[in-house]
Amino acid sequence: MTGSADKKPVEWRFETVPADEDNSRLDRFLRRLVPGLAQGSIERMLRNGLIRVDGAKAKANSRINAGQSVRLPPDLQPASTKPAPPSPHIIAHADVRQKFDDMVLAEGRGWLAINKPSGLAVQGGTSIALHIDGMLKALAAHTNGRLRLVHRLDKDTSGVLLLAKTLESARTLTEAFHRHKFEKTYHAIISRVLDESTIIEENIGRHPINRKRMAVTSNGKHAKSIVKPITNLVNSSHVEIKIITGRTHQIRVHMSYLNHPIIGDKLYGYRKNIFNKYPDLIKHIDPTFGQYLHAYSLSFRDNVSGKMKSFNADYPAQYNSLLENMNEYLS
């Protein structure tokens, strides 16, 4: 007897998404999992249902969560066993250690907090060679364990970033993060004067035309931000922002929606012509710095000691310089 009855069941390969891949794009996770895997191959297998997430079809740009199960074809292997040629941007371990040590803010038994500089990506991607995740992997080769990402910051957003020392801590802290058990406070220098505190509760989703942007949309995910003025500056304000939810680009989208885009954030509407009457100030806005948005403080319950932990991150030099010059201009 021949036919489908003689076929052996496919022994699928299953991979559980680790804590440090939480909220990663599916295609980027797959390329890290299977070095050399082509984007075209990923998209073809996804279209044909050969790769699934928790049993369901998914798209290349789908976001995956820690703990989800990714099903892969059993014969999916790296395209080549040859080691990849060294990147010209890879830095020696001693340099990584020095750069990393300079960022450390505080440390507990299960976690470590750093002050991420603006311009340093948290994870890699197209044309991004140096990033936090890569630094952690480089350090792991010379230590007994590997630090894992608990959450993320945009490349050009500076400030507090929390890392887990163990897989167990990563799972616990990541779960707490997604349950909004962390209190995060950001500071930003925004366009135009904001006279009073305001609560922004507007849904956020992918921009219908520019897919690189997010936008306030009726069918987006619920998002809530609380904005409070710290100091009014020259046609701008220094503000404190607390986010109750954690949507992609949430603060940047909400401030743009209020018509107070963050200074330096060209993607979301900042234009330097707001300072046309103050030409001396424009030279203090660093065009290479990105948005003037800083993750200033973080509070959470230590998963080992059970005690509340809270710490602040100093502003970057460019951020400080702009604040000081604006204050001097007003004095």
Residue 43 and residue 48: Cα distance in Å, rounded? 9
For residue 164, list its beta bridge partners: 111, 148
Active site residue 154: yes
Annotated catalytic residue: which of 20, 22, 27, 154? 154
DSSP 117-139: PTT-BSS-BTTB--BHHHHHHHH
Residue 155 identity (one-letter amino acid)? K
Structure letter (DSSP) for residue 243:
E
Residue 49 · residue 157 · CB < 8 Å: no
- Close Cβ partners of 311 (under 8 Å, ≥ 6 residues apart): 105, 106, 113, 160, 297, 298
Query: Which two structure tokens, joined as six digits, stand for 247?
Result: 């949507």
Neighbours of 287 (CB within 10 A): 9
Q: Which residues are catalytic?
A: 154
